[in-house]
Structure 1
Amino acid sequence: MSASEAFRSPLLDRPGAVAGDGPDAPVAAHYGSIVAEQRRFEAGGTFVDLSHRDVLTITGPDRLTWLHDLSTQHLRDVVPGVRTSALILSPQGRIEHGFDLVDDGETTWAHTEPGAAAPLVAFLDRMRFMSRVEVHDVTAEHAVIGLPGLGWELRPRARLGDVVDELGDPVGSWAWEAARVAAGRVRIGLDTDDLTIPNEAGLLEIAVHLDKGCYRGQETVARVHTLGRPPRRLTLLHLDGSVDHLPAIGSEVTAGDRTVGRIGTSARHHELGPIALALLKRSVALDAPLLVDGVAAAQEAVVDPEVGLHVRPALRG
């Protein structure tokens, strides 16, 4: 059991709080006003309880050069206070770990999916060798909050309830998920699988720095970036709103009688309606009608099927 699984958020005791499902069960999915919470989150001046996410610290004088060499991100000269994202890849370029991080000048703080800290810490410990670094899972002491615009902060877990006094009433994790899915931002392990490479998931220039030196898996990332056309592509699906359920994570996506991919996370967006992220075969035509878990779906490209480069949501339209 990860540290996050052992701690139920105190904000679940607030009036109207309804717990989430699966890995998001320790925090509130909503507080009774789903659409209004999404609108408040977009307007700003509130926060999302993401205290179920795992938190770790990396300390020691070599921490940034060491993380720079291990990960996909350029961290050697990172400016204190600047938040970024990074991945650890397999030698074949497949995503093994993903985390968001910030350095305060003395410590690098990172957070990752619920339950993902233990394997990440174990990997990092194995890679220390002679480097002057220490890695610790600090989920028991620190918690993540989400901010409008998909930003985040770390707060002391024991004072999580005090955030309400500072930032006002929270909104549920469904508001965060709706904004995230609409923006085409993946959750590692939910919207990705064991075969996913960063180019497929729209993570270039978000968690992958294309101009840094060698790191494990770089050859695959560079080759696909240069030649284009990754095997699969992240797609935003617009789901049939007349169906009363959202597809389950991992469900097959079909075009006719052919399986063309798998679905990741779904959400009900207050403007877009039901939406989901899916990894589809690159060859699937953008106008092909799809079916997933009994729900019809239309596509909106996140990763361009022709060149394999990330198309930012701001360019849609």
Structure 2
Amino acid sequence: MLEVTGPEAAAYLDAHLTCRVAEDAHGALLAPKGTLLGLVRLERAAEGFRVFSEQAAVRQALERGRVGWMVELTPFEHHEPPMSDLERVERGIPALGRDIDERTLPAEAGLVGTLVRTDKGMYPGMQTVLRQQRSGTVHRALRRLALDAPVPEGAEVHDEAGVLGTIGTAVVHPTRGPLALALLRSRAVPGTRVRIAEVSGIVEP
């Protein structure tokens, strides 16, 4: 992805990412309106930091934002095996482009307080995060579903009132059976019974 070096490397990343680079290994980068541009992983480098992300928008935003900063951004090639879908679903970790997208707010994805801090200096999109946190209004939420049978990704999820959302990543756990992540309307609280076509399921805590 990008190696960020120079005397202002830490300050530059702190001003753009949702995490504290001196403390956190994972974070995100938001659009000015507060939606997700991408998730990132950080590593210390000899003269700065390495920023890993699967989203090209992250590199593009960081390159645009370097004007006026005493930093150097150097692309590098890195190939590491991604976390398996099964592990992600077990841990409730969304994949951008499958479970969430560039229209998703951090609160909807359950990232506020973990990958998206509200106890640090300002970064792009933070005002939206704080405003939503103060209002307590979240219209959608990422949920894990326990299902009676496997379902296809992209299938609609319904409750008795209508459509809740669509299935994101769907897996079959070796002991727990079919599971899936889905970004659903906020009325789908834990314990809600849902259906996907003829398959029944329940929203997990």
TM-score (norm. length: structure 2)? 0.88
SS class of match (1:274): strand
Change (3 A) 1:281 1:58: same
% identical equivalent positions: 31
Residue 197 of structure 1: how far off its partner (Å): 0.9
Confirm or deny: 8 A CA contact 2:151 2:196 kept in the other structure. Answer: no
1:278 equivalenced with 2:185 (yes/no): no
Gaps of 5+ in 1: 1-54, 147-172, 302-317
Aligned residues: 205
CA contact (8 A) 2:41 2:51 kept: yes
Task: State how far apart, in whole Å, the 2-side matches of 1:235 and 1:104 are.
Answer: 36
C-alpha deviation, 1:251, in angstroms: 3.0
Q: Secondary structure at the match of 1:198?
A: coil
Per the TM alignment, residue 120 of structure 1 is displaced from its structure 2 partner at its CA by 2.3
1:247 aligned onto 2:185: no
Structure 1 match to 2:104: 196
Rounded to whole Å, the distance in 2 between the matches of 1:223 and 1:123 is: 23
For residue 104 of structure 1, what is the aligned residue in structure 2? 45
Q: CA RMSD in A?
A: 2.2
Give the CA deviation at 1:263. 2.0
- Shift in Å at residue 260 of structure 1? 1.0
1:292-307 → structure 2 map (5 Å cutoff): 292=196, 294-301=198-205
Is 1:267 aligned with 2:176? no
2:72 is matched with 134
The letter of the residue matching 1:265 is T
Query: Which structure's residues are more often strand, by fraction?
Result: 2
CA distance in structure 2 between the aligned counterparts of 1:128 and 1:296, rounded to whole angstroms? 50
Q: d(CA) in 1 for partners of 2:179 and 2:25?
A: 26
Q: How does 1:145-294 map to 2 (within 5 A)?
A: 145=81, 176-241=84-149, 245-248=150-153, 250-256=154-160, 258-292=162-196, 294=198
Q: 1:257 to 1:204 in 2, by over 3 A?
A: closer
TM-score when normalising by structure 1: 0.59
Tell me the distance in 2 between the aligned counterparts of 1:188 and 1:207.
14
Partner letter of residue 246 of structure 1? V
CA contact under 8 A between 2:99 and 2:169: conserved in structure 1? yes
Q: Distance in 2 between matches of 1:266 and 1:180?
A: 10
Matched, 1:73 2:9: no
Structure 2 residues without counterparts, runs of 5 or longer:
none
Measure how far apart 1:72 and its partner are: 1.1
Compared CA separation, residues 134 and 296, structure 1 to 2 (3 A)? farther
The structure that has the greater radius of gyration is: 1
Contact 1:57 1:136 in 2 (8 A): yes
- Post-superposition Cα deviations, 1:208-260, rounded to whole Å, max 9, x if no partner, equal 1221121111122112223324111111101113xxx4321x33222246111
Distance of 1:285 and 1:202 partners within structure 2: 13
Q: Secondary structure at the match of 2:39?
A: strand
Q: Is the 8 A contact 1:121 1:136 kept in 2?
A: no
Q: Deviations over 1:151-178 (max 9, x none)?
A: xxxxxxxxxxxxxxxxxxxxxx6xx321
Tell me the equivalent position of 1:56.
Answer: 2
